[in-house]
Amino acid sequence: MARIVVAGYMVRHPVAGNLLAFFHYVLGLRRLGHDVLYLEESGWPGACYDPIKRELGDDPSTGLRIVRELLASYDVDVPVCYVNHELGSVEGIAWSDARAALETADLLLNIGGACWLPEFRRCRRRALVDMDPLFTQVGRFGGPLVDEHHVHFSYGANIGRPGCSVPTVGVDWQPTVPPVVLDLWDLPPPPATGPFTTVANWSAYGTVTHDGEQYGQKDREIMRLICLPGRTTERLELALSGADEETLERLRRAGWSVCDAIDVSQDVSSYSAYITGSRGELSAAKHAYVKTRSGWFSDRSVCYLAAGRPVIVQDTGFGAWLPTGCGVLGFSSLDEAVDCLDRVGAEYPIHCRAAREIAARMFSHEVVLPSLLDRGLHDARHDPPGEMVADASR
């Protein structure tokens, strides 16, 4: 059994899709018998989103309640520690206990890189999991922290390999994938007349420019597919956040059903119900992931697979490591997306079975997390420069 501190982004952004991206790690590690502490810090001013009021602020109370209720609903005995580094306050456990946990931890697992405290340097081993390839490497979440970690993982499984243009920034990025705890997704069979759906943020934090090249979000890739409803008999629906009314109306005129992603993601139950009501997933990827051939694959798509729903997703180069053609189908053009929908519709039960089998074989926490921990605990190729002892006065 290892002692693991998981740093994530659940308290500040407690909407279901985001919660599950981190919760599968916490639950999976506990299911494997490890001793886990979940720790999150306040980040930046106005970082706490309240999905009930739909407001940003500095009060973490709603997020703390939602995270603790989620853990309790699955009988997960993991302490939750929230550190407001501006106020010097700590919620959940005593700061002395948090520091002791950091000092005795076998591994800090910093998922997404949205957290950093100087006290993290107390951990003898620190691993960064990059969930947002290209954006991390050019300085977004986690980017400034690369040198603070001993080992570096990325959902951009092709980084450093031929054909992938994500800059390595001098780091050996080791491939990993989003884990899933399969029994969370033991859902009823798909409805015969359900739509193909996805849940998406329209433009997230916008376009970045690196070495004169622009790298964007999902908005420009979804617009490449705007005519798709007129090319298929399948129903297509987008659960979107961040799109303006003009964009929503344009999508509706093109034949897309559109609903509010925040309504769908109010809690894990509503999110699961949305996937339950789906025939499968049809989704674009962020422009940056596609342009760089990063090999990225979505933690949301993994949930669809675990629920036995086939996924038809824009190709980011994941075919280099993921079996495709049945259960998972990748497309690079509107015509290819049409063909994928036709193929899934023609042999739908076969694709559903394959989806669940791929989830079990490639993404189960019992497959992903032991490998991640073995490399995180024992791969000593990445020793951060200037090791420092944290300020003991905190």
DSSP 23: H
Pair (290, 168) in one structural domain: no
Pair (165, 191) in one structural domain: no
Q: What distance in Å separates the CA atoms of residue 105 and residue 100, rounded to the nearest whole number?
A: 8
Pair (235, 150) in one structural domain: no
Pair (172, 284) in one structural domain: no
End-to-end CA distance of the chain: 29
Pair (192, 164) in one structural domain: no
- The reported pLDDT for the residue numbered 205 is 85
Instruction: Report yes or no on 386 lying in a domain.
Output: no
Pair (13, 96) in one structural domain: yes
Instruction: Report yes or no on 341 lying in a domain.
Output: yes
Q: How many C-beta atoms lie closer than 10 Å to residue 13's C-beta?
A: 20
The secondary structure element, H or E, covering residue 260 is: strand 257-260
Dihedral angle of Cα 373, 376, 379, 382, to the nearest 10 degrees: 170
Pair (149, 293) in one structural domain: no
- The reported pLDDT for the residue numbered 204 is 87
The count of structural domains within the chain is 2
- The reported pLDDT for the residue numbered 88 is 82
> Going residue by residue through the chain (394 aa), what tens digit of pLDDT does each one get?
999 999 999 999 999 999 999 999 999 999 999 999 999 999 999 999 999 999 999 999 999 999 999 999 999 999 999 999 888 899 999 999 999 999 999 999 999 999 999 999 999 999 999 999 999 999 877 668 899 999 999 999 999 999 999 999 999 999 999 999 999 999 999 988 899 999 999 998 889 999 999 999 999 999 999 999 999 999 999 999 999 999 999 999 999 999 999 999 999 999 999 999 999 999 999 999 999 999 999 999 999 999 999 999 999 999 999 999 999 999 999 999 999 999 999 999 999 999 999 999 999 999 999 999 999 998 644 333 333 223 322 3
Pair (232, 95) in one structural domain: no
- The reported pLDDT for the residue numbered 389 is 28
- The reported pLDDT for the residue numbered 87 is 83
Pair (326, 232) in one structural domain: yes
Pair (188, 303) in one structural domain: yes
Domain that holds residue 63: 3-179+365-378
- The reported pLDDT for the residue numbered 243 is 95
Pair (298, 371) in one structural domain: no
- The reported pLDDT for the residue numbered 111 is 98
Backbone φ and ψ of 38, nearest 5°: -95, 125
Instruction: Report yes or no on 308 lying in a domain.
Output: yes
Instruction: Report yes or no on 391 lying in a domain.
Output: no
Backbone φ and ψ of 83, nearest 5°: -110, 120
Could you tell me which residues are beta bridge partners of residue 168?
none
Instruction: Report yes or no on 239 lying in a domain.
Output: yes
Instruction: Report yes or no on 394 lying in a domain.
Output: no
Of 130, 193, 200, the C-alpha closest to 167 is 130
Instruction: Report yes or no on 392 lying in a domain.
Output: no
Tokens 């003898």 correspond to: 124
